[in-house]
Amino acid sequence: MIAIPLSSQLINLFAAVLLLLAFAMLAQRRVVSLIDLFAAQGLVLALSTAVVAWSTNQPHLYESAGLTLLLKVIVLPWLLYRLVKKLDVRWEFEGLINIPTTMLIGIVLVVFSFNLALPISQLASTVTRSTLGIAMASVMLSFLMMITRRKAIPQVIGFLAMENGLFFAATSATYGMPMVVELGIALDVLVGMLILGVFFFQIREQFDSLDLKHLETLKEEPGE
């Protein structure tokens, strides 16, 4: 049996936890718990990035890890909590598709991503290449979450989680993106979040609800 170095084992563990968290988010109905899960995902991401930095001796990845920790574990969850408290939306009841079905679709997506990632990870030369499939799977799962949720805040969390998945994919495939790109994306996410927060208030003021079905009136009239 070939001994796998500790760093690789750690990275694989974090990847597995990341995937597990993505599934948990897919199944979670309560908004506050969703934010907790999102923060946990950010923490795992930061830890795994730090491990990659330590094992491959890439100092700039420490900075990425620090940035992730700051932004995705502290700032964004805090903003979301505040938003939920102000808007007073603690519960989300039903998704568009029931949860077991969603989970089944999620499993299909994971299989699909692993299949896709196989040829790519053979091309990559990084120690983390085996986790590429998981990164792609978590992108897909977050996307699925955006599709199946009916309320605005879970959709935004899905969007942010998708960005987590992308970041993980970048780390695992090429040891992270250049610092400039990473900073840019971090800023985009932050500003996007702030703007969406403003939008939520506006939507809520207009319709007394954050249910997106109020925004569905713009469509082609049948049989004109």
Partner 1 sequence: MPTSPLALIGIAATAWLAIGAAGLIRPRSLRAVRTLFPLGAVVAVAIAVIACVALALPPESTVLSLGLPDLPFHLRVDPLSAFFLVLLGSASAAISLFSAGYFRSGSGTAPGLICFQYHAFVAAMALVLIADDAYVFMVAWETMALASYFLVTTDHRIPQIRRAGFLYLLIAHVGAIAILLCFGVLQGGHGDYTFAAMRAIALPGWWGSAAFFLALMGFGAKAGLLPLHIWLPEAHPAAPSPVSALMSGVMLKTAIYGLLRVTFDLLGAQLWWWGAIALALGLLSALFGVIFAAAQTDMKRLLAYSSIENIGILVAALGLAILFKTNAKPLLAAIALAALLYHALNHAMFKSLLFLATGSVLHATKERSLGKLGGLIHRMPWVAWLALAGTLASAGLPPLNGFVSEWLLLQAFLFTPTLPQSFINMLVPLAAAALVLAVALAGYVMVKFYGVIFLGRPREPSLAYAHDAGRFERAGLVALAAACVLLGIFPATVLGAIDHVTAQLVGSAASGGDTSWLLLAPLGAERSSYSPLIVLGAIVGAVLITIQLVHRMWHGRVRRAPAWDCGFPLQTPRMQDTAEGFGQPIRQVFEPFFRIERHLPSPFDAKPRYSMNASDHWWQWLYLPIARAAEAVARLFGLIQRGRISVYLTYSFVTLLALLLFVL
Q: Where along the sequence are the contacts to partner 1 (CB under 8 A)?
A: 96, 112, 116, 119-120, 143-144, 146-150, 155, 212-213, 215-220, 222, 224
Closest to partner 1 by CB, 1 vs 218, is 218
Alpha-carbon distance values, 48 to 146, 179, 198 (Å):
25, 17, 33
Q: How far is the CB of 136 from partner 1 (least distance, A)?
A: 8
Distance of CA 31 to the CA centre of its chain: 15
Q: How far is the CB of 223 from partner 1 (least distance, A)?
A: 9
Q: How far is the CB of 155 from partner 1 (least distance, A)?
A: 7
Q: How far is the CB of 107 from partner 1 (least distance, A)?
A: 15
Q: How far is the CB of 192 from partner 1 (least distance, A)?
A: 16
Closest to partner 1 by CB, 10 vs 116, is 116
Read out DSSP for the chain?
-PPPPHHHHHHHHHHHHHHHHHHHHHH---HHHHHHHHHHHHHHHHHHHHHHHHHHT-HHHHHHHHHHIIIIIIIHHHHHHHHHHHHT-------SS-HHHHHHHHHHHHHHHHHHHHHHHHH--STTGGGHHHHHHHHHHHHHHHHH--BHHHHHHHHHHHHHHHHHHHHHHHS---HHHHHHHHHHHHHHHHHHHHHHHHHHHHHSS-BGGGG---SPPS--
Closest to partner 1 by CB, 202 vs 217, is 217
Closest to partner 1 by CB, 180 vs 224, is 224
Closest to partner 1 by CB, 11 vs 140, is 140
Q: How far is the CB of 108 from partner 1 (least distance, A)?
A: 11
Closest to partner 1 by CB, 79 vs 212, is 212
